[in-house]
Amino acid sequence: MSVIGNHDRYLDGQIFWKSIFGNIVDKNIIYGPTSFVWHYSFKNFHFIGLNLPCGFYNMSFKEIKWLKQELNKIPEDNFTVILSHSFFYSSGYKDITGKWFDNNGNIKKIAPIFYKKADLVVSGHNHYMEWIEQDNLIWVIIGAMGGKPDPTPSFITKGSKWFLKDQFGFFLIEAKEENIHCSFLDQFGNILFSKIIKK
């Protein structure tokens, strides 16, 4: 499964994205009104992909309504992970293209929908690795899987607990013993930072 990114949307790239990721047949996958939003579940773990390649304005009214309905179906003692390309909280910088830190539109328009349900929010967009604890949620930035590293941040988001730049790697989520084990790893699989999320 995948969430669509900003570069996937350029020049009708979403057509190719949909042909690869928008038609996966699996009994554990529920697609929303578009294939850009989906809910994958197994046991008591839920992963929900959002249509946020750039910001809150990408999500249609129908997709938001579907998101609320899916979240309401999830029992309170289950784990819920939200996946989004554009970030909510993030350290970052400003350049001629704009502001690349805390996305206030996403924070104000989308985050309140899942505040009381989600346990972990994983995003990319910024080419860093970051672990953020804010608003009683864990927010992860993992945009370090191959793109050119972003510059040194001029802004550090309030809840930042761990941050790394100029390092390629990925973020691993493992369901173990009814907990979520989270690890940032470098491109060779070495653990850089890890935490366990418990209910």
**What's the confidence (pLDDT) of residue 168?**
98
Domain locations in the chain as residue ranges: 7-197
**What's the confidence (pLDDT) of residue 197?**
95
**What's the confidence (pLDDT) of residue 10?**
83
**What's the confidence (pLDDT) of residue 113?**
98
Phi/psi for 39 (5° steps) reads -135, 115
Determine contact, residues 181/196, Cβ cutoff 8 Å. yes
**What's the confidence (pLDDT) of residue 22?**
86
Angle among Cα 182, 64, 120 to the nearest 5 degrees reads 10
**What's the confidence (pLDDT) of residue 11?**
79
Average pLDDT of adjacent 10-residue blocks, the chain of 199 residues = 91 88 90 96 95 96 98 95 98 95 98 96 97 97 94 97 98 90 97 95
**What's the confidence (pLDDT) of residue 176?**
84
Q: Is the pTM of this model over 0.85?
A: yes
Chain centre to alpha carbon of residue 145 = 14
**What's the confidence (pLDDT) of residue 199?**
82
Reported as a single tens digit per residue, the pLDDT across 6-34 is 999 887 889 999 998 888 889 999 999 99
**What's the confidence (pLDDT) of residue 66?**
98
Return the CATH fold of 7-197. Answer: Purple Acid Phosphatase; chain A, domain 2 (3.60.21)
Determine contact, residues 179/195, Cβ cutoff 8 Å. no
Q: Which of 189, 199, 95, 196 is nearest to 148 (CA)?
A: 95
How many Å apart are CA 186 and CA 190, to the nearest integer? 5
